[in-house]
Amino acid sequence: MGEELPVVERTIDAEQIARYAEASGDRNPIHLDAEFASTSQFGGIVAHGMLTLAFVSESLCLAFGKDWLESGKLKVRLKAPAYPGDVVRSWGRVVKEDASGSGGGRTLECAVGLSNGKGEELITGVATVTLP
């Protein structure tokens, strides 16, 4: 209980956003077209929410390895966008443990999220993982 998860810190840049758009097939102009994005509610290009969520998942993978990949679940809220140039940082801690799992396993519940360099929360949520 209370164990902190590994921190993943990354700087968002336009090239990374473009590569993610290509790989995911999500070419929404809010992510790629500065002129279009400047007229949006965000005022400029923003990173894909799933791109930023990947940093939270990376932290969970560092903490729990194969168990995260095989049994992990995330329930999150995307609260604010990340912009090119933002430094984002994952955070997380174990908040609950249930040792009543089948086969002697235990399930951990973790509070997780992602913040920008200004300390603003971009993502918040809960992750669960079952350990043998």
Report if pTM > 0.85. Answer: yes
Question: CA nearest 73: which of 122, 115, 114, 108?
Answer: 108
- The CATH number for 67's domain is 3.10.129.10
- Cα separation of 56 and 29, whole Å? 25
- Residue burial 19-28, b: 16+ Cβ < 10 Å; e: rest: ebbeeeeeee
- Please tell me the predicted confidence (pLDDT) of residue 3: 94
Confidence of residue 105 (pLDDT cuts 50, 70, 90): confident
Whether 127 is in a domain gets the answer: yes
Q: In total, how many domains does the chain have?
A: 1
SS in 3 state form for 37-99? HHCCCCCCCCCCHHHHHHHHHHHHHHHHCHHHHHHCEEEEEECCCCCCCCEEEEEEEEEEEEC
CA angle 84/88/94 to nearest 5° reads 155
Quote the radius of gyration of the chain (alpha carbons, Å): 16
- Please tell me the predicted confidence (pLDDT) of residue 9: 98
Confidence of residue 100 (pLDDT cuts 50, 70, 90): confident
- Cα separation of 90 and 60, whole Å? 10
Question: CA nearest 57: which of 132, 125, 130?
Answer: 125
pLDDT above 90 for 80: yes
Range of the domain at 88: 9-131
Whether 35 is in a domain gets the answer: yes
pLDDT above 90 for 103: no
Whether 3 is in a domain gets the answer: no
Largest CA distance in the chain: 56
